[in-house]
Amino acid sequence: MSSFSGPEPAPFLDVDIEAGTIGVRPEMLAETFMHDCPELADDATRRLPRQSLSIVQQPVRASAWQQVPTTYLICSEDRGTPAERQRAFAGRAQRVVELDAAHHPFLAQPQPVADLVLGIA
């Protein structure tokens, strides 16, 4: 994530430099990440965690995709990670699957995600 975005955080992110954390703005969760499963947004908002800023400040030093077969699931309706950006990431995967889903396809479309995972196994 250290190379993911520009110099300013995305508008849906809340950065707390003092605490050293980053999180999704609760009021933006549903529209940005869960617009295809809005019935789950209230519960998800209550569970929103904050994460260490280190996730956006440190480059990845090792990644399994270089040693093991990989599949990338592109979520074409994701408003947090645009599909074109996902397609660039997916260029390193051996297999790419695209689903008309937002950021949490395992919540909005669990069966296609389960079928994909079971098909890989």
pLDDT tens digits, one per residue of 31-88? 999 999 999 999 999 999 999 998 888 887 888 888 899 999 999 999 999 999 999 9
- Homologous superfamily (CATH) of 13-120 is Alpha/Beta hydrolase fold, catalytic domain (3.40.50.1820)
* Residue 3 confidence (pLDDT) above 70: no
Domain boundaries, the chain: 13-120
User: Which residue's entry shows tokens 């297999």?
Assistant: 95
Exposure of 9 in the CB half-sphere (CA atoms within 13 A): 16
Q: Which long-range contacts (CB under 8 A, 24 or more apart) does 19-24 make?
A: 19/50, 20/52, 20/53, 20/54, 21/50, 21/51, 21/52, 21/53, 22/50, 22/51, 22/52, 22/53, 22/55, 22/56, 23/48, 23/49, 23/50, 23/51, 24/48
User: Which residue's entry shows tokens 């300013």?
Assistant: 8
- pTM, two decimals, is 0.86
